[in-house]
Amino acid sequence: MRFAIWTYPWDVLDLGIDQVVADVRDRAGLNGINLATSYHAGRFFQPRSPRRKTYFPEDGTIYFQPDAQLWADRAIVPKVADLVTERGDVLRDLIRQRDQTGLSVACWTVCLHNTRLGLLHPGACTRNAFGDPNYYSLCPSHPDVRAYATTLVQDLTRNYKPEVVQLESPGFMGYYHEYHHEKDGVGLTPEDDFLLSLCFCDACVQRAGLAKVDAKAAQRTVRAWIEESAARPVPAARWPDFAQRGADIFRDHPEVEAYVLWRFEPVTSLMADIRAAADPASRIEVIDSNDGWRSGSDLAAFARICDGVLLCAYDRTPATVGADVAAVRTMLPAQYRLGVGMRLFYPEMKGARDIVERTRAAIDAGACEMHYYNYGLVPAARLDWVRAAVDAVRA
């Protein structure tokens, strides 16, 4: 069973590989490390770094050295983070030492959430029903985006040979996503957020048309709904149970329902393209953030293509963790690899018992891997909490 922790290259560089191995393997009792290899911007408080206490990584960069030949004819190409060129290739170092350290290496890879690339290639972004671009969200229907995501994973797997590539944000993103100083004075509801996330870019309209789905009809309806929401004096849910329902909530509006269901196709086919291009020796796993149909993610379809699903079970009780993991387990083949992610943040986790109970609940419900977030963002003492959870389920 794989027990791993997510971390960033700057954590490894600041603390040193020897210290990281001692913490992850010896103190926390883990046997894997999930390293960010393609990531977005943010502000990170670094409680243990001897170099700094706050870090702002470059937006939308990669943390490995790409193969120039693979990217020669690509319209969208990645930028190597200055951190790599100035301080070294952490991914290569971890992979070269994995037999010595005993830590398997996963490439934690953000796919389509990339504001830097969106600003450089606005035609490749998702666009709402009014044609406004979402610069943080590349569209999985766009041919250049599909080539970018596929080549990214091909490059990683063929030139670095990681055990696993974990794909984050391979589908359609929501409207709300912690963009820089987001402003909403209306009070958008969950359904408004979803409607604003529906993409009607040229690539989506054309691709839907090939499937005999009338994107323009859906766009007209969605525009009208958003206009209604924008005009209300106070927010009012059209569907109060929207968060609990599936795509059938649109059954009285068949043009919208058909379009929402069609969105599975570009995401599923992109996963198939990625798996086909990747080195067969590397597992391809999809990180599921519980957005399912809202992002165009069909876990049952992913199970026929990829090698595993990783459910992020954040911010929930042990009972809810167990129920959610069990529900996902029913969507997958009996022996299919299902991992579960836990966040080590306070006050979500107040002590070792909280992590132990949630880890046990996940394993009992059918998880076969556990992943903890995030090594560099929490005090060292919380590694002891992780060790308690790992020892509890291994006993």
Give the pLDDT confidence of 298-329 residue by residue, as tens digits. 999 999 999 999 999 999 999 999 999 999 99
pTM of the model: 0.97
**Rounded to an integer, what distance in angstroms lies between the CA atom of residue 142 and that of residue 128?**
15
Q: What is the mean pLDDT of residues 383-391?
A: 98
Number of domains in the chain: 1
Is 81 inside a domain boundary? yes
**Residue of 72, 173, 172, 75 lying closest to 122 (CA atoms):** 75
Q: Which of 252, 249, 262 is nearest to 298 (CA)?
A: 262
Token readout for 131 is: 């044609």
- Please choose, from the candidates 239, 199, 202, 237, the residue with its C-alpha nearest in 3D space to the C-alpha of residue 219: 199
> How many Cα atoms occupy the beta-carbon half-sphere of 37 within 13 Å?
31
Assigned domain for 7 exists: yes
Q: Report residue 357 as tokens.
A: 């109970």
179 or 202, greater pLDDT: 202
Instruction: Check whether the bond before 374 is cis (ω within 30° of 0).
Output: yes
CB burial string 55-66: b at 16+ within 10 A, e below: bebbbbbbbbeb
Residue 209 lies in a domain: no
Q: What is the DSSP letter of 252?
A: T
- Least-confidence region, from 58-72, 107-121, 153-167, 178-192: 178-192
Residue 162's CATH number: 3.20.20.80
pLDDT digits (tens, 9 = 90+) for 261-297: 999 999 999 999 999 999 999 999 999 877 789 999 9
**Cα 73 from Cα 69, distance rounded (Å):** 8
Residue 144 maps to a domain: yes
Q: What would the pLDDT profile of 72-91 be if each residue is shown by its tens digit?
A: 999 999 999 999 999 999 99
Q: What is the band of 177 on the pLDDT scale with cuts at 50, 70, 90?
A: confident
CA atoms within 13 Å, Cβ hemisphere of 354: 16
Place of tokens 């100035």: 86
User: Are 277 and 154 contacting, i.e. CB atoms less than 8 angstroms apart?
Assistant: yes
* Secondary structure tally for the chain: helices H, strands E: 16, 14
- Domain assignment of residue 62, given as a range: 2-172+263-394
Task: Give a yes or no: residue 46 inside a domain.
Answer: yes
The rounded mean pLDDT for the chain is 96
Burial class (CB in 10 A: 0-12, 13-18, 19+), 132: exposed
Taken as a whole, the chain contains a residue count of 395
Q: What is the average per-residue pLDDT within 46-51?
A: 97
| Residue 327 within a domain | yes
Answer whether residue 309 is part of any domain: yes
**CB within 8 Å of 181: residues ≥ 6 apart:** none
In a domain, 238, yes or no: no
DSSP reduced 3-state for 392? helix
